[in-house]
Amino acid sequence: MFKPREMQRTLIIGSKQELTHTIDLLHQLEVAHIVDYVQPEKEPIVQLGAPAQDASSLSQQLLKLRSSAQLLSIPPEQPPVSAKMSETQLQKNIDLRIQEIELSVLSLAEDKKRVEDHLKKLDERIHQITPFSDIDIPLEQYQGYDHLKVFTGYVTEIKKLEHELPTITDEYELFLSKTTPGIMALFITKFQADAALKLLSETGYNEIKLPEGNGLPSQFLEKWTTQRQELSEKLQQITTELEEYKKRHIEFIIASEEYLSIKVQKAEAPVRFATTIHSFLIDCWIPTESLQHVKETLEKETNGSLYIESFEAAHEDEPPTMLENPKPVKRFEYLLDLYSIPNYRDIDPSIILSLIFPLFFGLMIGDIGYGICLIIVGYIFMKKLKDSEAFANIGWYIIIAGIFSSIFGLFLFGDMFGLAFQSAAAEAEASSWSSILHVTIPIPSVIHKMEALGLTELLIISIIAGSLHIGLGLLFGFISERKEHKKHAIGKIGLIFVLAAIALLIFVMADWTIGQWLKPLKTTALAPFLWNYLIPSLKAGFVLGDLVIPYVSILLVGIGLGIILGTIGGFGLVEVLEITSHLMSYTRLAAICVAKGAMAFAFNMISFTLIFNENPNAILGIVIAIMGVIVIVFLQLIVFALGSLSSGIQAVRLHYVEFFMKFYKGEGIKFTPFRYQRKYTSTE
């Protein structure tokens, strides 16, 4: 659970006659992560393999099929089907069927395109001619003059045009459309064409070119409208035909696409292997637990004609990483990959991530109202966006965080939507759910976010959480480095001592707060040991201004620094500083919790003055109250969105920076076995 699955480097060597069969077997076994062979320069004997003979024809077929699928607008990702097609069924006449589909689809698509082009042209012409349909001049009379210039188009200031044309010349004729104001046709003597154009441009002229032809525009309009109607019907018909064709063949197309993809994958596999004239060598990683099965299957199926050898991963090897986690934790691997894919030798922190990330997230939100909203939002993410793995995973994180935040909201903070169930004793007048609803809700706030004491308590909780989290990180660092970098590993232990010293110093500073939490222990059998022996010895120290520096802290720092200087050397002191700043970094847990709580509280107070207004005018009072409700919903949404976003990012950050930096190296290679995840076909 804390380690990636163990891998063995496996070499499979055989004669080329067995190559196809071996590839088939490996593909069926689905556990071999193939390492691509890189041919060294000037290597005369062992060369890259060549793809199988049918590879190029298979690729061509696949290409044809995919282009048909695209023309039929079948997206590449289809939902899985219930009845899978068998390979034997597909194999029959697959070439012929693909060719048939290609031809039919191509001809239908061409028809469709032709009709569409035609329609487009027709639309353009109809658009041009429509405004002129009520000017009764045949189209042929608009052109072909020696002494006349014709302007057709749209004018914004038609009155001005009519008024000023006579000042240029009286050798003109102006026709106006009765139905479309602004449309005009101007016939004017060529000698005054320039002057007319100048006037036209002053009156906002926009040219409309008339199509060529013989006859009245209205006749053309009628003719083209009928043609358009016919073409639209034809287009509709072709589209329906295509749809029907798609419906009839979609199953075959997606199934054969998968079938051919698998074939191509197998046919092209040899390019990843090393080959000589008569033999081949497959270099791959196989999980140790599957190795025996792989060996047995290969030997049995090839009658022992393969030579198989496997080794432990050597120091310079980079085996692929395959994490093993139960399903709820598996979703958190995505968060790990987002940082960097774990290295084969890394400790897999998924399980820690799956517990601590929502815990921190929940603590920062710490409100049952927002918690329940988070669960709902997360559920919607998982249901509605389940096609995207990333969003489905994020939805899952939000749900878990919502559960944690509800728990904290109910048992620790006693808060719902930024309002406590019961107001703090110090400010009994303040609003709370109890005072608004006039019932006493028996859910006390153990920690009041909005009080100075509450902030102190939260800061201490943050530091406790931080020291445990960082301590765990350092421990992981020790475990993962103990074999290869012994000195560094021991240095981590030194850092744990320093961490404990700093944490103790802070706890002694917050003496009273922690004392409160320990009170319940006073009645237990542990009490004499704690109060007579442990606590006084931890608290004893010398006074420096306001500060008490415990002797135990000094001792721990001494030991820690000794170890660090002895192992890592002077450079290790930088890490001591880093630990201190990382520990402070956890105060963000308290900071965001209080900041979000304060924001919600302030927004609530603003809205409550509106909702519970005491306006003498009853109607006005109700209107203001309704406005108040709208305002509160809007403001609460802002708090919810901002709060969840920042809590999420901060919780991720505490892991990526403070936790992972202590042990995690990343930059691993994901285990990608040689296989194809069948969705639409089966080998049966």
Binding site for other proteins (CB under 8 A): 338-340, 452, 455-456, 459, 581-582, 584-585, 587-588, 591, 649-650, 652-653, 656-657
Smallest separation, CB 660 to other proteins (Å): 9
Smallest separation, CB 633 to other proteins (Å): 29
**What is the tally of helices (H) and strands (E) in the chain?**
23, 16
Nearest to 227 by CA among 137, 115, 142: 115
Smallest separation, CB 668 to other proteins (Å): 12
Handedness of CA 674, 678, 681, 683 (dihedral sign): positive
Q: Could you tell me which residues come within 8 angstroms of residue 615 by beta carbon, excluding any fewer than 6 positions away? A: 621, 624
Handedness of CA 26, 28, 33, 36 (dihedral sign): positive
Smallest separation, CB 585 to other proteins (Å): 5
Residue closer to other proteins, measured from CB, 196 or 450: 450
Residue closer to other proteins, measured from CB, 426 or 555: 426
Query: Which residues, in sequence order, are bridge partners of residue 286?
Result: 8
Pairing of strands 85-86, 172-176: unpaired
Smallest separation, CB 581 to other proteins (Å): 6
Residue closer to other proteins, measured from CB, 268 or 658: 658
Nearest to 587 by CA among 461, 496, 497: 461
How far is 610 from 615, CA to CA, in rounded Å?
Answer: 10
Residue closer to other proteins, measured from CB, 106 or 509: 509
The C-alpha angle with vertex 92 and arms to 86 and 96, in degrees rounded to 5, equals 130
Residue closer to other proteins, measured from CB, 449 or 582: 582
Residue closer to other proteins, measured from CB, 60 or 672: 672
416, 439 in Cβ contact below 8 A? no
Q: Could you tell me which residues come within 8 angstroms of residue 298 by beta carbon, excluding any fewer than 6 positions away? A: 12, 22, 25, 26, 306, 308
Smallest separation, CB 153 to other proteins (Å): 47
**Residue 541: strand, helix, or coil:** strand
How far is 368 from 370, CA to CA, in rounded Å?
Answer: 6
Tokens of 550: 């415990």
Query: Which residues, in sequence order, are bridge partners of residue 282?
Result: 12
Residue closer to other proteins, measured from CB, 66 or 653: 653
Tokens of 400: 């878990």
Residue closer to other proteins, measured from CB, 242 or 323: 323
Smallest separation, CB 311 to other proteins (Å): 30
Residue closer to other proteins, measured from CB, 436 or 657: 657
Residue closer to other proteins, measured from CB, 638 or 657: 657
Smallest separation, CB 76 to other proteins (Å): 20
Pairing of strands 547-550, 274-275: unpaired
Smallest separation, CB 334 to other proteins (Å): 11
How far is 246 from 105, CA to CA, in rounded Å?
Answer: 9
Residue closer to other proteins, measured from CB, 176 or 669: 669
Smallest separation, CB 349 to other proteins (Å): 14
Tokens of 150: 């014709």
Smallest separation, CB 680 to other proteins (Å): 29
How far is 299 from 18, CA to CA, in rounded Å?
Answer: 12
Helix (H) or strand (E) holding 102: helix 94-129
185, 150 in Cβ contact below 8 A? yes
Q: How many CA atoms lie within 13 A of 37 on its CB side?
A: 23
